Amino acid sequence: MKKVKLAVLVSGSGTNLESLINAVNSGIIKDGQISLVISNKETAYALKRAENAGIPSFIIKRSSFDSNEDFDKYLLEKLIENKIEIVLLAGYMRILTKPLLDAYKDKILNIHPSLLPDFGGAGMYGIKAHEAVIKAGVTISGCSVHVVNEHIDGGPVIAQSRIKVMPEDTPQSLAKKVLIEEHKLYPATVQNFISTQVQL
């Protein structure tokens, strides 16, 4: 069977990208291949991970465009040129706009470091989400994979993984524990999502 072409959008170190690459190589993601990596940051170490894996990558700087929509239109052109079927966000620090959301409606996934809908939305990313969890005093946290729509972290949640928040946890220790879960949950969910799409 032909493998579904995936693109991964990144902004940072790319540990989730690495977990996705490893999952393709090991057969956890057996129905998809990562055909393209796009970053909005030229300093993103994720680009090095893509290079090491032999995956084509692009850097698209926001400063080169007049608006967020123009930025996304150009990004969309790259996705279409490369015949990308599903888009995965992995530490991508930009809010997607209408041109991209419309073209890939229900075909964009994101991994978020909390149990959505809790601790999601504007400003809730990375360590900030973990700081909010610790401050709230909740005893269970985790990560969520959701479909991306026009609402920040507001699309349908399709998978979650839970962990206990211990009394001694700090935002940093919680981040490490959640990241381990992200690296397991995201690849497995991507494979399930692809297989569901193929059946439609």
Q: What is the pLDDT of residues 59-96, one digit of tens each?
A: 999 999 999 999 999 999 999 999 999 999 999 999 99
Domain 4-199 classification at class level: alpha beta
**Helix (H), strand (E) at residue 143:** strand 140-147
Res 189: pLDDT: 98
Mean pLDDT, residues 169-188: 97
Tell me the pTM: 0.95
Q: What average pLDDT does the structure give for the chain?
A: 95
pLDDT tens digit string along 89-129?
999 999 999 999 999 999 999 999 999 999 999 889 999 99
Residues acting as catalytic residues: 112
| HSE-up of residue 130 (Cα within 13 Å, Cβ side) | 20
Q: Where do the structural domains in the chain lie, given as residue ranges?
A: 4-199
